[in-house]
Amino acid sequence: MWSDAESRIATEVARPKKKDHTMQGFLKIEGLSKAYIPAKPVFANVGFTIDKGEFVIIIGHSGCGKTTILNVLAGLDTATSGHVFMDNREISGPSLERGVVFQSHALMPWLTVRKNIAFAVVSRWPEWSAAQVNEHVEKFVALVGLSLAIDKKPSQLSGGMKQRVGIARAFAIQPKMLLLDEPFGALDALTRGTIQDELMTIVRETHQTVFMITHDVDEAILLADRILLMSNGTENEGGYSPGNIAEEVINPLPRERTRAGLHHLPGYYELRNHIVDFLVSRAKAH
């Protein structure tokens, strides 16, 4: 039998959460659509907000358009229609106000860890002295536990270490928002778990606003304050329905959760089952 608290959490998880899009979030997306074939947009009329300091994750099957949404937020792609505002200004093109970490580390192979991060720091603060840049770089390298590898080149690092460098570089420019596109997808389970814990620690220390894509349900539950469930575009009897945010789920688990203790928390299995049920039964993947 469930306790009253567990029953309440299960009820809350099972109930779709609809955030009020009329509120002024730090990030605001309005009527976003992307179409490569005009009659069959990948997604249409997508709208949601992200508050300052909030960690939001989007989950959906391949082809639903979640990476396209992230690339639009990063300024690396343009939507067919709609608008994206951050801090009350419309996004147009890349900016150092938004740090991006991809699944591939995107490091410059001819530069050391120190110089890879310094390159970004100098771009952000060109007026800084070499000593200021170096002190700042060393601080963020230490934050991801790579001080002993700071003068090594990417070819001398493991996959997990390279992703740590990418994360350190993104945080080092102190962006207003961090965008993560499956940053741990290519890592083994042990390394992935370690870096998840490190990311959680850094985000809590910096109060960073984060938008992330993952296919890993447990990763989403561990990291996110709110999880967006995205459906794929589908053909049905009434014609074609584009992809969209089908549901927003607020994570009811304590924010100070840990990877090791996650499955012991009341409400964890109900939340996990709800997301898995969406992916299996309701996302309508191609």
- pLDDT 10s digits, 15-57: 444 444 344 589 999 999 999 988 889 999 999 999 999 999 9
Query: What is the model's pLDDT at position 17?
Result: 45
Question: Which pLDDT tens digit goes with each residue over 175-218?
Answer: 999 999 988 877 787 778 888 888 888 888 888 999 999 989 99
pLDDT digits (tens, 9 = 90+) for 94-117: 888 999 988 777 899 999 999 999
How many C-beta neighbours within 10 Å does residue 261 have? Answer: 11
Closest CA to 177 of 120, 99, 125: 99
| β pairing state of 89-90 and 81-86 | antiparallel
Q: How confident is the model at residue 14 (pLDDT cuts 50, 70, 90)?
A: very low
pLDDT at position 102 is 84
Per-residue pLDDT at 127: 97
pLDDT at position 141: 93
| Across 80-100, average pLDDT | 91
Give the chain's mean pLDDT: 87
Say whether pLDDT at 144 is over 90.
Answer: no
Predicted TM-score (pTM) of this structure: 0.86
Domains of the chain listed by start with CATH number: 4-97+175-282 (3.40.50.300)
Please tell me the predicted confidence (pLDDT) of residue 79: 93
Contacts of 139 (CB under 8 A, 6+ apart): none
Two tokens at 108? 């410059």
Per-residue confidence at 146, pLDDT binned at 50, 70, 90? Answer: very high
What DSSP state is assigned to residue 226?
E
Tell me which DSSP letter residue 36 carries. Answer: S
pLDDT value, residue 24: 59
